[in-house]
Amino acid sequence: MPVSDHQLIGAWNQVLTLSRLEPGQTVTVLTSAATHPQTLSCALATAQAKGAIVNRLDLPPVNAEKSLSRDSLAYLGTTPLTGNRAAIAALKASDLVLDLMTLLFSPEQHDILGSGTKILLAVEPPEVLVRMVPTEADRSRVKAAAQRVGRAKEMHVVSGAGTDLRCPLGQFPAIGEYGFVDEPGRWDHWPSGFVLTFPDEGGASGRIVIDRGDILLPQKSYASERIELTVEKGYATKIEGGLDAELLNDYMASFRDPEAYAISHIGWGLQPRARWSTLGLYDREASIGMDARAYEGNFLFSLGPNNEAGGSRTTACHIDIPLRRCTVRLDGEDVVREGQVLDGKGPGDAR
């Protein structure tokens, strides 16, 4: 159901308050052709009402000749900021950037964050933003999970469908996404609510089974049959199954990049207001699928780059796949059991 400007402004006010926006600070709203007009107008109004100096930077889209989809996460690498020194300077001079365009996994984003500028990505439809407006409780839960991941030496994921994946940890940091930016140089995504890290380079091994009903992103589709991935030395070396596997293989092959098959981030969802079923209610171009990425208890793994965490692997291909009903273990201890988060804060918690 659509939301009123009043509701969306209220949501923006909560997010900007949690992000510690102060009067006199500079906010730049980064937009492009696909920016939702209501999200933009309410962001501008809220930032101005909080006493910020507000700018809008609108940039033309790129990559149309390369991408197979209109989804903003379907082709990474070059962005409208690539080689655009004037735009980068403006964003570095800002205290807060509201990214209504999508800069994820770009070197320009890392450069801007390095200057101390905070970046908040918000590209989902307004009703999704309002339903999953972040809270301090989200932050506390995600940070606690990130601390557990940060201490672990191995993540072991199993499922009744046949997943049995082992990932050595420690080379890369644990990252928590909770939906607002409360520290200088922080990037986050509203809506979100999950924890992630990256396996040690070349270390992930085993088997991943994408079962019926699991979700492929950016395809934004529910798997209709099993897909089996063989993982060796950090890469998916085989992708086997029926039509869904063929479609996934063909999509990945289009990038002509062996790094596309690397195991990227791994973690689990912690957002109780996100729903596994929501993706089926939207046109594919209306959402980037944050419900699927964040719903509580999923095991979310990715194929593609690791430069988000400081690694050297970059590739234009990035695929997120949240799986249901998995058990996630850190150093032999269950933190998610058959899709239920075991942190004492979820409805199914039981040790």
* Residue-wise pLDDT tens digits, 289-336: 999 999 999 999 999 988 777 778 888 899 999 999 999 999 999 999
Decide if 351 is inside a domain.
no
Decide if 148 is inside a domain.
yes
Per cent of the chain over pLDDT 70 is 95
Q: Which residue, of 77, 99, 131, is where some domain finishes?
A: 131
Number of independent structural domains in the chain: 2
The tokens describing 72, both together, are 């903003």
Torsion sign (Cα): 303, 191, 106, 41: positive
State the pLDDT at residue 253: 96
The mean predicted confidence, pLDDT, of the chain is 94
Same domain, residue pair 140 and 264:
yes
Residue 105: pLDDT band with limits 50, 70, 90: confident
The length of the chain, given as a count of residues: 351
Decide if 123 is inside a domain.
yes
Model-level pTM?
0.94
126: region left, alpha or beta (phi > 0 left; psi from -120 to 50 alpha): alpha
Decide if 257 is inside a domain.
yes
Rg (CA), the chain: 19
Q: HSE, CB side, 13 Å, CA atoms: give it for residue 324.
A: 13
Is the pLDDT confidence value at 21 over 90? Answer: yes
Residue 350: pLDDT band with limits 50, 70, 90: very low
Region 240-245: mean pLDDT is 98
Decide if 350 is inside a domain.
no
Residue 36: pLDDT band with limits 50, 70, 90: very high
Same domain, residue pair 17 and 54:
yes
Question: What is the DSSP code string of 264-294?
Answer: EEEEEE-BTT--GGGGGGS-TTT---HHHHH
Residues 264, 302: contact at Cβ < 8 Å? yes
Q: Which residue, of 131, 152, 167, is where some domain finishes?
A: 131
Is the pLDDT confidence value at 77 over 80? Answer: no
Decide if 348 is inside a domain.
no
The CATH number of whichever domain residue 60 belongs to comes to 3.40.50.2300
- Structural domain containing residue 67: 5-131
Decide if 200 is inside a domain.
yes
List the beta bridge partners of residue 26: 53
Region 191-205: mean pLDDT is 97
Rounded Cα–Cα distance for residues 262 and 268 (Å): 19
Same domain, residue pair 261 and 310:
yes
Same domain, residue pair 114 and 151:
no
Same domain, residue pair 107 and 182:
no
DSSP summary character for residue 161 = T
Helical H runs in the chain?
5-18, 37-49, 85-92, 107-114, 126-131, 136-151, 243-253, 290-294
Decide if 43 is inside a domain.
yes
Q: Which residue, of 131, 158, 185, is where some domain finishes?
A: 131
State the pLDDT at residue 351: 37
Same domain, residue pair 272 and 313:
yes
Question: pLDDT digits over 265-298, tens only?
Answer: 999 999 999 999 999 998 888 899 999 999 999 9
Same domain, residue pair 41 and 144:
no
Same domain, residue pair 218 and 326:
yes
Region 104-109: mean pLDDT is 83
Same domain, residue pair 118 and 150:
no
Query: Per-residue b/e over 99-125, b at no fewer than 16 CB within 10 Å?
Result: bbbbbbbbebbeebbeeebbbbbbbbb
How crowded is residue 228: how many other Cβ atoms within 10 Å of its Cβ?
18
